[in-house]
Chains A and B, each alone.
Chain A
Amino acid sequence: IAGITQAPTSQILAAGRRMTLRCTQDMRHNAMYWYRQDLGLGLRLIHYSNTAGTTGKGEVPDGYSVSRANTDDFPLTLASAVPSQTSVYFCASSARVNQPQHFGDGTRLSIL
C-alpha cells in the first residue's frame, strides 16, 4: 500500500541520548517535511526538503537535523535529546511544494 511509513511508533528516551526517527515514502513525492505536534499548539515545521539533496529549516529547527540522500527517505535526528522535545512527530510528503501534504502515522516520543 502506497504511503508514508514512520518508525518507531513510540519511544521512551533518556535525556542526552541520540535518536533518529525514520520516515520513508513510496509515492515518489518530491517534497518531505517533519512536524511536531504539541497539545494546544498547531503543527510546527521542524525541517523540510523540497527535493532530494536539499533541506531547509522550519519554524523550530534547533536540536534537530535532517538529511535527504534520496527521494524516499527523510530521517530526523535528535543529537542530544532534552525533555522539551517530548512530542508527537509527524513526517509528511507532497508531490510538489504547492500540493496537499500526506502524513505518516506519527512517532510518539517521550524524553525523560
Chain B
Amino acid sequence: GQNIDQPTEMTATEGAIVQINCTYQTSGFNGLFWYQQHAGEAPTFLSYNVLDGLEEKGRFSSFLSRSKGYSYLLLKELQMKDSASYLCAGMDSNYQLIWGAGTKLIIKP
C-alpha cells in the first residue's frame, strides 16, 4: 500500500531550527512535495525534491533520500508566522499525490 508518515505535532522556539521528518511508501516515485497550511487556509507549495540531496530556499530547506524513503523539511530562524501545519506528499507512478496527515508546528516565544 501507499503511505506517508510524519509526526502529528512538534513544538519549537522562536529563532531556533526545527526538522520535520517524513517517510514515504508509494507505488513508483515521481517526487516528494512539502506544503505549508495555516489554520483555516489552503495549502501553499514550499518545495519539491525528485533527486537525492538538499534543496535550499531561503529559511526553508528540504532533503530527500530515495533509497531510504525519507525526506525532511528544515526551518531555520523560526518566526511566529511559521506556526502552521506542514504537509508531506509523495507523487506516485500515476502522478497522483499521496498526502500525510500533516505536522502541526507550534512556535513559542
Indicate if B4 sits at the interface (CB-CB under 8 A): yes
- Please pick, from B43, B96, B98, B101, the residue contacting A103 in the complex, using a CB distance under 8 A: B43
Give the distance in Å from the alpha carbon of A44 to the alpha carbon of B31 in the complex: 18
Interface of A, helix, strand, loop or mixed by DSSP: loop
Chain B interface residue bracket vs A: 20 to 34
Q: Does A26 contact B (CB under 8 A)?
A: no
A42 touches B45 (CB 8 A): no
Enumerate chain B residues within 8 angstroms of A45, measured Cβ to Cβ. 96-97
Given contacts A98-B30, A98-B31, A100-B33, contact A42 B42 (CB under 8 A): no
Interface residue count on the A side (C-beta < 8 Å): 19
The reply to whether A41 and B96 contact each other, CB–CB distance below 8 Å, is: no
Does B48 sit within 8 A of A, measured CB to CB?
yes
Report how far A104 CA is from B96 CA in the complex, Å. 18
- Inter-chain contacts of A104 with B (CB < 8 A): 42
Q: How far is the CA of A103 from the CA of B46 in the complex (A)?
A: 13
Contact code string B8-46 (vs A, CB < 8 Å = 1, else 0): 000000000000000000000011010000000111110
CB pair A43–B87 under 8 Å, yes or no, is yes
B-contact bits for A77-96, CB 8 A (1 contact / 0 none)? 00000000000001000000
Q: Tell me if A97 and B95 are in contact (CB < 8 A).
A: yes
B87–A103 touching, CB < 8 Å: no
Question: Are B4 and A105 touching (Cβ within 8 A)?
Answer: no
User: Which residues of A approach B to under 8 Å, CB–CB?
Assistant: 40-45, 48, 50, 58, 90, 97-98, 100-106
Residues of B within 8 A of A (CB): 4, 30-31, 33, 41-45, 48, 87, 89, 91, 95-102
